[in-house]
Chains A and B, each alone.
Chain A
Amino acid sequence: MPHDFEPKIVAFVCTWCTYAGADLAGTSRMLYPSNVRVVKFPCTGRIDPVFILKAFQKGADGILVSGCHPGDCHYMAGNFHARRRFAVFRKLLEFIGVDLNRLEFSWVSAAEGGKWVEIITQMTEKIRAMGPLTQFTDLADEEQWSGALGNPELKAVYDQV
């Protein structure tokens, strides 16, 4: 069934759990939307928030970061460090004004092929409904922003600074 808009979804995953979980979805021949592009890392601990920024700038409409469940990390604590890092980073993005529906996090183990399928399917559908993310890509096209603050509430706050 063709859709008006097919979102681009990028998944940053660790090799030991989520990548293997996605492999399991494959060997189990489970079907899910083809919108996701997987970038493999040794561990979620390796995933730098800068990558998320880059992916958004390059036109990702939604991003998933996924790794091992707490306690399952192949490297003992990489996912714990990642959990803190992204808990804070998503708050920053939210404050900057990014809709957090576009940035998701999950624990998917090597045994959870079904969970992987579920997460990718739900995320694709949700972001398909939300439409494309143009915030970052629009910025790239602009030399300078015109600065017309249409909203009076915003104008008031802006003037206050």
Chain B
Amino acid sequence: MSRIGVFICHCGENISRTVDVEQVAQAARQMVGVAYACDYKYMCSDPGQTLLKKAVAEQRLEGIVVAACSPRMHEKTFRNAAQGAGLNPFLCEMANIREHCSWVHDDRAEATAKATDIVRMLVERVRKNKKLIPITVPVTKRALVIGGGIAGIQAALDIADCGHQVVLVEREPSIGGHMAMLSETFPTLDCSQCIMTPRMVDVVNHPNIILHTYSEIESVDGYIGNFSITIKKKARSVDMAKCTGCGVCMEKCPQKKIPNEFDKNLGFRPAIYVPFPQAVPNTPVIDREHCTKFINGKCGVCQKVCGPGAVDYEQQDQLVVEQVGAIVVATGFKLYDIGEKPKGSAIKGYGEFGHGKIPDVIDGLTFERLASASGPTGGKIVRPSDGKEPKQVVFVQCVGSRAREKGISYCSKVCCMYTAKHTMLYKHKVHDGQAYVFFMDARTPGKSYDEFWRRAIEEEEAVYIRGMVSRVYQKGEKVVVMGSDIAVGVQVEIEADLVVLATAIQPRDGADTLAQKLGISYDKYHFYSEAHAKLRPVECATAGIYLAGACQGPKDIPETVAQASAAAAKVMTLFSKDKLEREPIVARVNEKYCVGCFACKKVCAYGAVEEKEIRDRQGNLIRVVAYVNPGVCSGCGTCQATCPSKSVELDGYTDEQVMAMLETL
């Protein structure tokens, strides 16, 4: 390229005060390949850009260097101007002589010399620049939502309402997640199921939502706009098309004493069951582990009583493949089971609190089931051990959370608020009862949250004790809680009837395996990582995958819903165009020279490098080379620096461009 134009900006006086712009222009005219150079007061202004466009036309320029501010400031401006003048925008580069020169040096001669050097480097670079065409990727306008809790439901409904098909995958037999288990929600104390179940019904009735319950993600292939998802539909043993949801099978099932997981094992369910009465879909599933038919073949009652003949013992796991363009991950959380010490984990467990051993030491979700009108006790708060009404209840906050020495250093965020709520629910049901709360700090930021917490103390008479609990043990019928009150500086011992532990929120089991299938990153606790903590909080670094809810970190319901809608908005933005356009700064493989060592594949953080087979006309395999998927490549160039033969090159930052700059030193 031999006709390059150099445009030197004064930036008012910001540049010209320290840099002799005329001298730089003079020097530029002497540089090899420069056909035209000028200086102007404000290159970015309208007249400045017009001047540039005019010069391109009149001087038949083939490349442009604008010596002005940082490219981070105006590269787009000038590349657009170049495009307006009929040049490929990637033939325009900026020489940063303001932030990197005039603003940081005070000696005019030195600054002018440096500015000239910078211009020379960029001129050499532009001489090696190539036209680049933006990459377009077709977009399949269907979304996958993983997880049918409130986050997944919200995201699915938002996307579906926008007219796009959504595939919603839920691991359990019913959607609803944890929110369906809650009794009432803070800070308004409205019934969780009353607001949740209509949304669940909306999902199943929505013409744009394809629901796969009792299903898991088997594998994920492809990239943004073009994912191919294999879903494993676990054998339900009930034909969903035939089942009317009459419930006769559940009534007649002789196995009735199976602990109900949905009720945190407080109640019982049959072997053929729906997790809870409002389950969506309202189709039972056979728990093959507990079903007599599956254990020894000596039953089959449900099949006999089923009018429509929906029960199918022969049903097998089934694989379905769905094509989608975007993925929302909303796999939610689990509660830290503190009684257990997970194998191979840094998390140490809380044997000293007796959880799992003392029946009247329960966690927050169990308390939710006790307080829930649709729960195993019909909303009556009783002790799991003897069914008596507890008169003194001790709530312990931060169990597992914020305990570095125990392996979890983060705050679980919702416990302060739900514990305050628990004290209220308890007081509303047991008027003569007394609630005590051990807490480290009360964290109540959020609309009407602090008021809610104060109400628990001031109106509902919960006694808050600032301090830690050291031990919980059984003493006769009572459960003794030993702790400290650091405000007063004394040891406290409370003989409680019931102890409720606000245990930490953790990502779901298998969160890491799913992340590996999706190619997204996660932190040491297995919470999924967002692309940027502030500016891209709902996107994964892997393009086309978005996060919603507690799988990314502990969150309450409003925050979860907000994030789910945000993730849906991101998906809809992606779906707003038929083709996705990306900056063409991506790596490209020279297949002629690639020897297929796949060092590039090993260092690629995006999984953009694939193995491509080269075959002759007869179809015989000749060799295997690397192929960079331009839809996935993010343009870091690590592959090129790693490739020994430089058979992969990053467009826009080729070796030729870099070396040309270095030659000017």
Contacts and interface: CB of A to CB of B under 8 A. Distances in A.
Interface of A: 8, 10, 15, 19-20, 22-23, 25-27, 29-34, 37-43, 45-48, 50-51, 54-55, 58-60, 74-78, 81-82, 85, 117
B99 A76 contact: no
B665 A58 contact: yes
B105 interface: yes
Given A37-B118, A85-B641, A46 B636 contact: yes
B637 A41 contact: yes
Contacts of A30: 104
Contact of A10 (B642, B663, B665): B665
B638 A81 contact: yes
B72 interface: yes
Interface string B110-126: 11011001100100000
6 contacts: A25-B99, A27-B99, A42-B635, A58-B662, A75-B634, A85-B642
Contacts of B117: 37
B145 interface: no
Contacts of A40: 71
Contacts of A32: 104-105
A31 B99 CA distance: 11
Contacts of A51: 658-659, 662
Contact of A76 (B605, B635, B665): B605
A32 B100 CA distance: 10
Contact of A27 (B103, B105, B585, B635): B103
B98 A26 contact: yes
B533 to A, nearest CB: 10
Interface of B: 70-72, 96, 98-101, 103-107, 110-111, 113-114, 117-118, 121, 521, 541, 585, 603, 605-606, 634-638, 640-642, 650, 653, 655, 658-659, 661-663, 665
Given A34-B111, A41-B637, A81-B603, A48 B655 contact: yes
A34 B114 contact: yes
B637 A42 contact: yes
Nearest to B532: A74
B605 A26 contact: no
A30 B105 CA distance: 8
Q: At the interface, is chain B mostly helix, strand, loop or mixed?
A: helix
A55 B121 CA distance: 13
A40 B637 CA distance: 12
Given A26-B98, A26-B104, A78 B662 contact: no
Contacts of A48: 640-641, 655, 658
B641 A47 contact: yes
Residue from the set A47, A76, A78, A117 with the largest chain B CB neighbour count within 10 Å = A76
A19 B603 CA distance: 23
B72 A19 contact: yes
Nearest to B107: A34
A24 to B, nearest CB: 8
Contacts of B606: 75-76
A3 to B, nearest CB: 11
Given A26-B103, A37-B118, A51-B659, 16 more contacts: A8-B665, A10-B662, A20-B72, A23-B70, A26-B99, A34-B101, A34-B104, A39-B121, A42-B636, A43-B637, A45-B637, A46-B641, A58-B662, A78-B637, A78-B638, A81-B603
Contact of A45 (B99, B641, B658): B641
Nearest to B638: A45
Contacts of A58: 662-663, 665
A126 B606 CA distance: 40
Nearest to A6: B110
Contacts of B655: 48, 50
B99 A23 contact: yes
Contact of A54 (B107, B121, B637, B659): B659
A27 B101 CA distance: 11
| Closest 5 pairs (CB-CB, A-B) | A26-B99, A46-B637, A45-B638, A75-B636, A58-B665
B541 A76 contact: yes
Contact of B605 (A25, A27, A29, A78): A78
A34 B109 CA distance: 10
B99 A37 contact: no
Contacts of B101: 34
A42 B603 CA distance: 16
B662 A54 contact: yes
Nearest to B603: A81
A46 B104 contact: no
Contacts of A46: 636-638, 640-641, 650, 653
Given A26-B70, A42-B653, A54-B662, A31 B635 contact: no
A29 B103 contact: yes
A146 B663 CA distance: 28
A50 B656 CA distance: 12
Contacts of B99: 22-23, 25-27
Contact of A78 (B585, B636, B658): B636
Contacts of A26: 70, 98-100, 103-104
Contacts of B650: 42, 46
A152 to B, nearest CB: 37
A38 B100 contact: yes
A46 B118 CA distance: 21
Contacts of B634: 75
A9 to B, nearest CB: 10
Contacts of A45: 603, 636-638, 641
A59 B637 CA distance: 26
Contacts of A75: 605-606, 634-636, 638
B601 to A, nearest CB: 13
Contacts of B658: 39, 41, 48, 51
A37 B665 contact: yes
Contacts of A59: 665
Contact of A43 (B70, B103, B638): B638
A64 B659 CA distance: 16
Contacts of A38: 96, 100, 118
A25 B603 contact: no
A27 B99 CA distance: 6
Contacts of B113: 34
B656 to A, nearest CB: 12
Nearest to A59: B665
A110 to B, nearest CB: 9
Contacts of B107: 34
Contacts of B521: 76
A4 to B, nearest CB: 16
Nearest to B115: A34
Contacts of B110: 34
A67 B650 CA distance: 18
Contacts of A19: 70, 72
A66 to B, nearest CB: 13
A22 B541 CA distance: 25
A130 to B, nearest CB: 18
Nearest to A76: B605
Contact of B72 (A10, A23, A76): A23
B355 to A, nearest CB: 35
A75 to B, nearest CB: 3
A113 B640 CA distance: 29
Nearest to B105: A34
Contacts of A29: 103-104
Contacts of B96: 23, 38
A46 B71 CA distance: 19
